[in-house]
Structure 1
């Protein structure tokens, strides 16, 4: 996989800058009627569209449009559907996916209250982790429309599993 190549170390200055950003600094309340589904956006599959910063593990990741196998080999993919949005498109539900054995290797170190920061469309969106859970690969209740700005990270689990992991 080339996925690890899209992960970069955050510099000390970048970490300090992100620590100063308050949660929800650039998010606004929205209604589901004002959301533009990601499926209506005009990006090309595999095109770099954002950057995901995770200060807790001092990493930043390029985010690419789509979440197919080819895109996930490049790095983090932004899931595209009628139920998801980009952070800059009126809030809603943004879903980022990555392989647990490449870009999301260190996600197990994150805890509730840690911040995830997305740079999208020249704006910064800060999300605080409120819930972490394990589900099966067939669970269709995770990627659904949301009324408020929400970021969901998805990866396979367990992190140390060899082969195709059974859970998400």
Structure 2
């Protein structure tokens, strides 16, 4: 008699299990592990069984609810901004910008003031040596004289001098001539006028008979200040007769015993004999040429200013 053996359930491979079967196996495995732990705790007295495992009544975990797009609560729409609120925000933004700009201006101004203060402190701690400024003691401009007569005779024109200042002018005529020095002017050349003449110290009547006179106390060639030179226009060589022909850009070359200095004509003016301010000291190297004007009349002065060539 042949017996049919009951068919044994074939064990499925993991890849043949459905998702539901895999979940059930995982739950059973976790349940068994939990029971083993609880049993171990009971044996060791660390846990007491109060109720049957509730997990048996619900072998499968409840399926969590999944929120879908249909069930999602729509996001609230943004509230409209009131125009006054928007205007207020803009005003506040403008105030903040102005405050930042003001702060930047204060910082920049503070830095500038600090630099100025530092400069003043340095200058106070290191004062420059004071250089005495020569005073213009002349009452009238040099080279004044009467027009020469038919024989060529002439004399200083005292009529140009105010009567109350005549004693002062006479006393200045006796001023001592400084001792010659290497940096004193000794010669002048004006190429545009073909002038080449010696320079003497002093611009009195006797000095101008010898050449071009340097006003005593005026600057040395090449130095900051005013080098004042004068000569006659119609007597004693007529050295400065044609000063009115000089134009800006012409050269005036002044020599010392050591070197030469070239000045460039800047401008020419006509002034009264009492305009002694043209002899005042200058901040930069300058040469001032003075002579009577016009030719054979001599009731004015022609003055030519030239600056030292860079």
Q: C-alpha separation between the residues in 2 aligned to 1:33 and 1:120? A: 25
Distance change >3 Å, CA 33–CA 149, structure 1 → 2: farther
Which residue in 2 is equivalent to 1:109?
245
Q: Is the 8 A contact 2:177 2:202 kept in 1?
A: no
Which residue in 2 is equivalent to 1:12?
none
Q: C-alpha separation between the residues in 2 aligned to 1:40 and 1:71? A: 12
The alpha-carbon deviation at position 140 of structure 1 amounts to: 2.2
Q: C-alpha separation between the residues in 2 aligned to 1:154 and 1:61? A: 15
Which residue in 2 is equivalent to 1:91?
224
Which residue in 2 is equivalent to 1:161?
296
CA RMSD of superposed structures (Å): 2.8
Between Structure 1 and Structure 2, the one with more strand by share is 1
The alpha-carbon deviation at position 49 of structure 1 amounts to: 4.5
Q: Is the 8 A contact 1:35 1:91 kept in 2?
A: no
Aligned residues: 129
More deviation, 103-112/119-128 = 103-112
Consecutive unaligned residues of structure 1, counting only runs of 5 or more, are 1-30
More deviation, 59-68/101-110 = 101-110
Distance change >3 Å, CA 32–CA 135, structure 1 → 2: farther
Distance change >3 Å, CA 35–CA 124, structure 1 → 2: farther
Which residue in 2 is equivalent to 1:79?
215
Q: C-alpha separation between the residues in 1 aligned to 2:207 and 2:274? A: 21
Q: C-alpha separation between the residues in 1 aligned to 2:132 and 2:177? A: 12
| Structure 1 residue ranges, 4+ long, deviating more than 6 angstroms after superposition | 38-41
Q: C-alpha separation between the residues in 2 aligned to 1:144 and 1:49? A: 18
More deviation, 147-156/50-59 = 50-59
Consecutive unaligned residues of structure 2, counting only runs of 5 or more, are 1-127, 136-174, 302-310
Q: C-alpha separation between the residues in 1 aligned to 2:281 and 2:273? A: 19
SS in 1 for 2:270: coil
Q: Is the 8 A contact 1:156 1:166 kept in 2?
A: yes
SS in 1 for 2:277: coil
Between Structure 1 and Structure 2, the one with more helix by share is 2
Which residue in 1 is equivalent to 2:15?
none
Q: C-alpha separation between the residues in 2 aligned to 1:40 and 1:146? A: 24
The alpha-carbon deviation at position 91 of structure 1 amounts to: 2.8
Greater relative CO, 1 or 2 (CA 8 Å, sep 6+): 1
